[in-house]
Chain A
Amino acid sequence: MQYILKTYKVYLFPILCIFHFIAITEIKANQQDEVSPYIRPDDFSEPILPQQTLLIKTKAMALSNSTCLPSGFTNAFVFPAYISEKLIQQSQKKLKENQNIMGAEFNAGIEFYFKAPGTRKKTDRFLGISYHNQQITNFSFSRDFFNIVMTGNASYAEKEAKLDKSTGFTLQYESLKFHYLFFTSSKKNHLIQLSPGLARGINYSLFEFKKAILFTPEEGDYLNLELHGRLEESGRSMNRIGNGAVSVGPVIDVGYTFLTEKSKLQLGIHDLGIIFWNKNSMGYARDTNIYFTGINIDNIFNLKESSLVSGDSLLERIKGKNIPSGFSRKLPALLSAKYTYQLSEKYKLEMSLGYRALKDYRPLTECSLLSSFKMGKRHEVGYRVNISYGGWGKFNTGIELVPIKSNHHFLSIGTFFNEGFINPDRWRGNGIHVKYCIQL
């Protein structure tokens, strides 16, 4: 989770630099060709095609949500901080016995779109290139798992802690994609997008406990862990083992947009792909019973240069002895469907459904109301309010402000989920997104 913040810092800065550079440059508007009769320059939404020569989009988003954990808890992982006992106790209140879900996502990138050469007049084909860095974290855990990790095993003395059905998954990768967009009819109301590219794996780790029971006796003289599960690791953390060979794989986005005078339907699959993790990756499948009694000191009278305390020993027993080998893992593709309807000149209604291909992720349904107001001849401002359900959380609300919207600039700053900002110690879900687009 801390990596999210680090990456956030790394990428947000150059993105804002670009933003700053562009923003302080006065760009004169040129007479525009009409891209599509259904894509109006004053459309409130983020532009999807270049109106003139080039469309540059920069985006950054970070969110975390949970079915049970308050935002203050997840924030401590995103913005590293000490998690107080009070916050842990607060988090414990909403825990179910099983299937408690927590997830986080970070994405930052830059995209360039331009009209395809030779099609300047027709403007029915477009090319683009983009770079994104993405990190996804997903946890599903039992109440006992949370308690053991966050409060320790002392309270489980002479009791079994059921860590079954707990999974954890973190993935970070970057992608470079080439975009090809084209209208399929002369009416320019069917837009297809194909974006093949390459994804490079940066970090990957997974644990999956199908069955795991930890027993701590009252005296604490041993720990018994019945474990049936698997662990996988790859990426930067594996560099110490080998030569840090590259982990890459193909990735593609496919999109379809149907435009009418008053509505827009967008369907898409994003990051459908696979990464072949390098040969230094480690996979551990364990079906074992570990009876841990501490480090065995063979002869106490030969205790030379020894440590009495070692945290690695139990972990090593869990991991066992494995030989590094490469493996391939699918990317958690995002499936999305969004329908936007123009209610009036100032208001739009948007319904969307999103699903990320993760075992614990539930379809995220979202309903938004968008409104915009003219500010002078060429500028307008707007906002959006939305309510959502699903994903890694439950009911949430969000808000988005568009302080700059013109023929050339589009800036939006918004939240995915407001609740965690309002009452982080009790409510779940928070996240922000920033977008800036410029038409050149």
Chain B
Amino acid sequence: MKRTKIKYRPVFFSIIFGTLLLHSCKKEEFTSWDTAVLAPLAESTLGIDNLLADSLLDKSQTDGVHLKFSRLLSLIDTDSLFKIPDTAFVESYKSPFFFPIKLMAGAKLDSIDNLVKFDFSNSRITELMIESGQSVLTLKNYITDIVLFDFTVPKATLNGKSLIHKDLKADTGTIQKPSEINVITDLKGYKFDLKGDNQSQFNRLRGKITARLNPQGSGAIIPPNQNLITYSNEFKGLVPYYARGYLGQPVFSAGDSITSEVFSRLNGNINLKDVKMQLSIENGIGADFSLELKKLVAIKTSSGKNLQLNHEICRSVQTINRAIETPGEVNPFKPYHKSYVLNASNSNVTDFFELLPDKITYDANILVNPLGDISSGNDFIYKTSNIKIKFNLDIPLNLSLSNLSLYDTITTNGIASSSSESIQSGEIRVLAENGFPFDMNIQVKLLDEQRNTLDEFFTQDIIEAAPVNTNSEVIVPKKTTLKLPFNNILRSKLSATRYIVVKANLNSQPPNQLLPILSSYKLKLKLIGSGIFRIILK
């Protein structure tokens, strides 16, 4: 009896272990069940400020939102308006004798008194104030004794003191190997009086250089007909802060394109009301100029359409008065402004912007001093002077839309969620609460990495416009529900999506009626999930 127990007991327990081991090999399973879920997933509210940058919108107007667009253009590069060319003079001194001669210590060698002429083309400048630049003086000594130089520009002054360098010492040199010294003077803040010696000239500046042997030296024998000393001075890289005189009659061409981000995403037909554009021309130079705006054209690249602005400013040459100096004030001059208001009564500016231009090009000619030197040499220009033109566009969003389309592409790394895998079946509902008086067809296209179309939704679905009252204003938004079945195929497509192309097609209701857009108008979109969701306890 005892033996039997010993025999079978291990067998019995081995069976238990075997069962346990087999059980542990079973595939892991989780507790799970299905629930019918109805829940909001996401929401978004779109206002007019989601379509147009907030900085472009003026919501303070009583008649609705205004689109305001402003752009300031400098028509002329200041550097091109007035430049100081690098100007230099070079002189040398040779022995006046035909034979070698010994000069005593301290003997005077030479004296140069040169009237330097600046080449300002047809400008006649009498006064310059230097923003930056240098005077580079180079002196060479071929004599076998030390030579001392004095350099003076009496009419170049800084705080009332002339530019002077005294006792510049050039070491002993030889004919073969002269000694050389370079003196660089920073001319920042210097004032140049260019009226010459008798104060009736222009573009002239006198410079003086004298040279003598070292008084403490032993003198030197100078050979005949050989360079003994050479001088050169260069005014280099001068940038004027201010110039005065007669600026001449330079002619400038100005042309460029303005890219309009505002309208670039829009296509279709739009009717606008009370479009107003103010063109303000600023003259910051102390000289009159004439402006010939040869063309100002609105271009819609996608359709290839363009329209020339038709207004007085484009039809005739405009004369713009000069700025005036305001000594003692923070801004040393007061620019002259001339403004033109373009509206439906004096131009085609409404048609111009109903084109929804993505580009505006202009072409203009500018002539300075069209009447010549009428200031008697009292034109001026500051470094900050310029000729500018400012566009101020004011479009009240009081409009009618017909098939106006808006495109946008959203990039994504795929729309997926671990939760979405638990969705067994169901649909995604888009609950749209439209506060705009526009019927909207918002089509969504999913594209993969190679921009192949994966799927398209809502191609025929319309989000209905909110009704308007007798003042053409929306009081109560309109609700529309769009449905999108959700299944495994869609889930994989969403996961593979890299681009979402959204195309919104808008038609105002009632059609052909100008409707104000109020800042309170919103399109509320709510994404609601409805379906069978499997809860898995992991």
Contact = CB atoms under 8 A, between A and B. Distances in A.
Contacts of A294: 39-43, 526-528
Given A81-B29, A150-B33, A154-B530, A19 B38 contact: no
B330 interface: no
B6 A220 contact: no
Interface in B1-38: 1, 6, 9-10, 13, 16-17, 20, 23-24, 28-38
Interface residues of B, number: 53
Interface stretch (B90-98, B270-278, B377-385, B412-420): B412-420
B454 to A, nearest CB: 15
Interface string A1-36: 110000001001100100110011010000000000
Closest 8 pairs between A and B when the two form their complex, measured CB to CB: A152-B35, A154-B36, A294-B40, A220-B38, A83-B33, A152-B36, A297-B44, A309-B417
Contact of A299 (B50, B412, B415, B528): B50
A122 to B, nearest CB: 34
A307 B415 contact: yes
Contacts of B500: 303
A48 interface: no
Contacts of B361: none
Interface string A151-181: 1111101000000000000000000000000
Interface string A280-297: 000000000000111111
B42 A151 contact: no
Interface in B400-437: 408, 410-413, 415-417, 419-420, 429, 431
Contacts of A321: none
A80 B537 contact: yes
A288 to B, nearest CB: 18
Interface string B64-97: 0000000000000000000000000000000000
A311 B42 CA distance: 11
A300 interface: yes
Nearest to B265: A301
B46 interface: yes
A296 B43 contact: yes
Given A80-B29, A220-B39, A293-B40, A308 B9 contact: no
B335 interface: no
Contact of B411 (A83, A219, A304, A314): A304
Contacts of B13: 16, 19-20, 23-24
Contacts of B226: none
A85 interface: yes
B17 to A, nearest CB: 7
A154 B38 contact: yes
B42 A308 contact: yes
Which of the four size classes fits the interface of chain A?
35 or more
A316 interface: no
Contacts of A157: 38
Contacts of A306: 412, 415
A83 B39 CA distance: 22
Contacts of A223: 39-40
B24 A9 contact: yes
Contacts of B6: 26
A117 interface: no
A293 B42 CA distance: 7
Of A12, A80, A304, A376, chain B has the most CB atoms within 10 Å of the CB of: A80
Contacts of B37: 152-154
A171 to B, nearest CB: 18
Contacts of B9: 23-24
Contacts of A85: 34
Interface of A: 1-2, 9, 12-13, 16, 19-20, 23-24, 26, 76-77, 80-85, 88, 149-155, 157, 216, 219-223, 292-311, 314, 376
B526 to A, nearest CB: 5
25 contacts: A1-B31, A16-B17, A19-B13, A82-B31, A152-B36, A154-B530, A216-B38, A219-B431, A221-B40, A221-B528, A296-B43, A300-B44, A301-B50, A302-B410, A304-B411, A305-B413, A306-B412, A306-B415, A308-B415, A308-B527, A309-B417, A309-B420, A310-B41, A310-B417, A310-B419
Contacts of B411: 304
A319 B411 CA distance: 32
B481 interface: yes
B533 interface: yes
B318 to A, nearest CB: 42
Given A305-B413, A309-B420, A152 B41 contact: no
A82 B33 contact: yes
A23 B10 CA distance: 8
Most A-side CB within 10 Å, residue of B17, B24, B36, B411: B36
B245 interface: no
A95 B50 CA distance: 51
Contact of B526 (A82, A221, A304): A221
Contacts of A221: 40, 431, 526, 528
B366 to A, nearest CB: 41
Contacts of A84: 33
B216 to A, nearest CB: 81
Given A294-B43, A300-B525, A303-B410, A308 B33 contact: no
Contacts of A295: 41-43
A106 B30 CA distance: 19
A293 B35 contact: no
Contacts of A77: 31, 537
Interface string B488-532: 000000100000101000000000000000000000011111100
A219 B528 contact: yes
Contacts of B530: 154, 220
Nearest to B13: A20
A153 to B, nearest CB: 6
A2 B537 contact: yes
Among A219, A298, A299, max chain B CB count under 10 A is at: A219
Contact of A220 (B44, B415, B429): B429
A13 B13 CA distance: 12
A219 B417 contact: no
Contacts of B29: 80-82
Contacts of B46: 300
Of the candidates B10, B40, B429, B537, the one having the most CB atoms from chain A within 10 angstroms of its own CB is B40
Given A294-B527, A301-B410, A308-B527, A20 B17 contact: yes
A1 B31 CA distance: 9
A297 B410 CA distance: 13
B416 A307 contact: yes
Contact of B36 (A9, A151, A301): A151
B425 to A, nearest CB: 12
A108 to B, nearest CB: 14
Contacts of B50: 299-301
A49 B284 CA distance: 110
B18 to A, nearest CB: 12
Nearest to B528: A220
A88 B33 contact: yes
Contacts of B526: 221, 293-294
A150 B43 contact: no
Interface string B127-163: 0000000000000000000000000000000000000
B265 to A, nearest CB: 10
A296 B524 CA distance: 11
B432 to A, nearest CB: 11
Given A219-B528, A294-B41, A309-B420, A82 B10 contact: no
A297 B42 contact: yes
Nearest to A309: B417
Contacts of B43: 293-297
A77 B44 CA distance: 39
B42 A152 contact: no
Contacts of A376: 1
A95 B4 CA distance: 54
A298 B47 CA distance: 11
Contact of B38 (A80, A149, A153, A299): A153
A327 B450 CA distance: 55
